[in-house]
Amino acid sequence: MTGEKMSDSIRLQKILADRGIASRRKAEELIRAGKVAVNGKTAQVGDKADPETDRITVNGKPLRGRSRPVYIMLHKPRGYITTMSDEKERKCVAELVRGIPQRIYPVGRLDRESEGLLLMTNDGAFANAMTHPSRHVPKTYRVTIRPDVTGEQMRRMAEGIVIDGRRTAPADVRVLVREPGRVVLQVVLHEGRNREIRKMCEALSLETARLKRTAFGTLKLGMLPAGKWRELTDEEVVRLKAAAGDRSGDGRGQKSGGGEFCWNRAGRSER
């Protein structure tokens, strides 16, 4: 607990995350709610404990031993919320991964009407590395816009837009498909703010008709059907961890086909 100087003491939220109880952020919420105790005493945020010698309970139940690390990718369909339970009885992603014996949780989130690649794990350190703002792990989205988008609007999306009092980080934006009344963009984000793309489009008076995450770092959704999941290979996990620790990339987007132009953090790029 706070004030103890044992060398093996670890912050409670990290212990809970490492044991697959919840992400660190959710673990802090459990602690604030008074649902975590150490040696019979209700814990406070910032408390530490030794998971090998202290008795840690969550909702009155003893903390179980460390389980096998699990890393999966789920193709989240539209209409599901990114949570493991919902008091309003809405459809949540937990329903799609019931066959997994370990207790896992989402890495970040996709809003209810968005779809695509969602990582889930019971490895708290991995989840934190994938979502921490300082790691800049890129996330790629296919965004359908109506009715059209201008070069100026794309430039503003790429350079950053002030949303809720703070400017969004630079992004890579390019046109994939342009048809009458419909444009499909590829947008690569390097931060993970809530509903960021939808808010950027709203600020530019653009209608977001569809939003799908197609890649997370080096991992691509591929042909995985909606509502299905698969476990990541060891190599995929290693590559994702490397992406979280590698800040050497310049973040530049690829050139687009069909004569269209794209905007990235280095400015305009043409075919």
Nearest to 216 by CA among 199, 197, 236: 236
Asked about 234 being catalytic, the answer comes back as no
170 DSSP 8-state letter = P
What are the φ and ψ backbone dihedral angles of 32, each rounded to 5 degrees? -60, -35
Whole-number CA gyration radius for the chain:
21
Other CB atoms within 10 Å distance of the CB of residue 39: 12
What are the φ and ψ backbone dihedral angles of 229, each rounded to 5 degrees? -140, 160
What is the spatial distance between Cα 188 and Cα 136, in angstroms, rounded to a whole number?
11
Please pick, among 8, 47, 86, 111, the residue that the annotation labels catalytic: 111
Which amino acids are annotated catalytic?
Answer: 111
